[in-house]
Amino acid sequence: MTNNLATLRTRIQAQGFCGLDDETCQKINYPLRLSPAICMVWTAIGTALASPVVLWALVPFAALGALLPTHPFDIFYNHGLRYLFNTPALPSYPVRRRFACLVATVMLVVAAWGFQSGMMMLGYVVGGSLVAAAFVNVSTGFCVPSFIYRLFMGKVVCN
């Protein structure tokens, strides 16, 4: 296994995705970043505009990503884009990936509330932090909330 593939597998497994062969890991690497990318851009716009309305509108999608086995934005990929790119469907979200959506939900609520209540610095700091964390995931595949989860719950052990 090449170093790049080993790193890729480690980052995907750190989010709780186990039991994937090398080819599947390579094929879903970038599609797994679609939902975080949409959330990142949406949050960046809401934060740049200091708009609680824009951020509140994203909260239900982030919350559903935490509650459901699949993020709502993955529907666009699983029922459309994957056929264009001839790639496999994204697997259901494991606990660690859903935890990342939960963290994003909380951060969105705090940022939106900050802007809504006139605490602009709070909104900018929390919104900007969420954008930064999402950017790390989108650009490298490294998921900051999954890393935090690992600190408390231990490393993912895949059979």
Q: Please report, for the chain, the start and end positions of each structural domain, with discontinuous segments joined by +.
A: 3-153
* pLDDT at residue number 3: 72
Condensed to tens digits (0 to 9), the pLDDT of residues 42-60 reads 999 999 999 999 999 999 9
Instruction: Name which of 80, 81, 61, 60 is nearest 71 in CA terms.
Output: 61
> Whole-structure pTM over 0.85, yes or no?
yes
Query: Around Cβ 49, how many Cβ atoms within 10 Å?
Result: 12
Which residue in 23, 5, 10 sits closest to 142, CA to CA? 10
- On average, the pLDDT of the chain sits at 94
Tokens of 108: 């969105």
Q: Mind listing the pLDDT tens digit for each residue in 120-154?
A: 999 999 999 999 999 999 999 999 999 999 999 88
Phi-psi region of 99 (alpha: psi -120 to 50; beta: other; left: phi over 0): alpha
Burial letters 121-148, b for 16+ CB under 10 A, else e? eebbebbebbbebbeebbeebebbbbbe
Distance between CA atoms of 3 and 151, rounded to whole angstroms? 24
Chain segment 73-115, per-residue pLDDT in tens:
999 999 999 999 899 999 999 999 999 999 999 999 999 999 9
Give pLDDT, residue 159. Answer: 74
Residue type, 83: Y
Quick one: pLDDT at residue 155?
87
Q: In this model, does residue 1 exceed pLDDT 60?
A: no
Q: How many C-beta neighbours within 10 Å does residue 157 have?
A: 7
